[in-house]
Amino acid sequence: MNKVKNIIALDCGNSSYRVVLGKYDGKKINTQVIAQEPNYMVEVLGYYYWDFLRIFDFFKRSLKDVLKTVDRIDSIGICTWGVDFALFDKDGNMLNNPLSYRNTIGEKYLNDLSQSEKEQLFYETGILCDKINSLYMLNGIKEERPSLFEAADKLLMIPDILNYMLTGVMINEPSELSTTQLFSASTKNISSKVCNNFNIPETLFSEIGTHGKKIGNLIPSIKEELGIDYDIPVVCVPSHDTASAVAAIPAIEDEFAFISSGTWSLIGTELDQPVITREVLESNLTNEVGAFNKITLLKNSTGMFIMERIKKEYDEATGKDNSWNEINNIANMHKGEIPLFNVNDPRFFNPNHMGQEIHNYLVKTGQEKGELNWSTVIRAVQESMACCYAHTIRDIEKVIDKKFDNIYIVGGGSKNVIINELTAKRTGKAIVTGGMESTSLGNIAVQLKYFEEDMTLKDIRKVIRESIDSKVYQMEFEDDGIVDRYVSLI
């Protein structure tokens, strides 16, 4: 391939969405962020929604900006967060703005399940029961908004909706489907058993997409808006942002440990087949579908969301926009034993005041006294995240009976030097960072298969290695029982 390909990724996350241009010269990809805007939920009458039409409008405007810098767009791929969806009627009209997973209307359905029923769901799908899984939100809609559910003909996940609006073609992309708990990681199909048990029609789902294949071309009205007269293919990529980020891991080895660090931290390994055993279940691990039907055995953990909330609150308390270096310096002021907390405790899911909630917990558990001390709280967050990573990697090594020498960290959290160093100390492993824009890079790289059909995931990762600068954190192993102390709090 001699001509440079101009490949577009829409990377839509919980906190922001961006359009990234990737220029592929046959060897490496150079990326440029064309536009970025904050993403946020909108509360209406007690429900939290995503302002979806604003997201779609942003994407169309950004494509116009792309065409100011290049003479042609060769392909487009979409990736977003998982679990959230919208329903469509028989005429293809979207019935509702997508509800956010931070609503609680589905949680009661998970709580109503017996332990045996939860285990059966895991063994059927490979997916761990979690209150944010689409299955429970869908049941919440059935009860709280029955007319909406009754009018529904199709269900599209967030990236599927964007693909549909761009092409007029409805598909369900497999990595996104795997976050619903309605999809079997073993068969790579919708589970009839789960649908029957929860009275969900299988007809809600469309054809399952294939990575590297064209979904459809840009519809004529959008081409007219862009002022172009040629077709632009929209390519099926691993649309769950975790799956795209893992595709962009610069690994040489076939089996490796990774942390995809963003709003959430996904801690795991990539496998050819799911591991659906009691040991996996008891370790709170889950089998999500990745690029080209690989399996990412992982734990979905709270990630930089807590640090971002802490920084925002500290900025408000000090009346200025503190840099991350300043935040780290505050943490370094803590003296004495480092207090810890379970970063995945529900009380830290979305409290009104994250810093105060953590402080209250530390006081309650006898680890802290007095008023809120920001240095103690920040240090506790950093150390608790590193201990969570170390504990999870231990569990993964145990269930697959393999030891890792390296842990690859990709995503925005890979720039957090302190947490990288602490993770190296608590695991005794080399921490290798990948690209900060790993989700976009993985999205773009998978689109290469549309142009080069023989390209494999190993070939794609070779392109990734040529396209990024990695950094290695190699620290002396320091545990001193701190990881076990963290585990005792879970």
Q: Which residues contact 148 (CB under 8 A, 6 or more apart)?
A: 87, 95, 96, 141
Catalytic, 241? Answer yes
> Which residues have C-beta within 8 Å of that of residue 436, sequence separation ≥ 6?
410, 411, 412, 414, 415
Query: What number of H helices and E strands is found in the chain?
Result: 19, 19
Residue 360 DSSP SS3: helix
Catalytic choice (11, 74, 160, 241)? 241
Q: How far is CA 473 from the centre of its chain?
A: 24
Structure token pair of residue 438:
């790993």
Identify whether the C-beta of residue 28 lies closer than 8 Å to the C-beta of residue 248.
no
How many Å separate Cα 44 from the centre of its chain?
Answer: 25
Give every CB contact of residue 294 below 8 A, 6+ residues apart in sequence.
246, 270, 271, 272, 457
Burial class (CB in 10 A: 0-12, 13-18, 19+), 97: middle
Contact in structure between 392 and 299 (CB atoms under 8 Å) = yes
The CA distance from 121 to 305, in Å, is 28
Q: Could you tell me what percentage of the chain is helix, strand and coil, using 3-state DSSP and rounding each to the nearest 5?
A: 40, 20, 40
Q: Which residue has the tokens 């895991």?
A: 122
DSSP string, 289-335: E-GGG-EEEEEEEE-HHHHHHHHHHHHHHHTS---HHHHHHHHHT--
Catalytic residues: 241
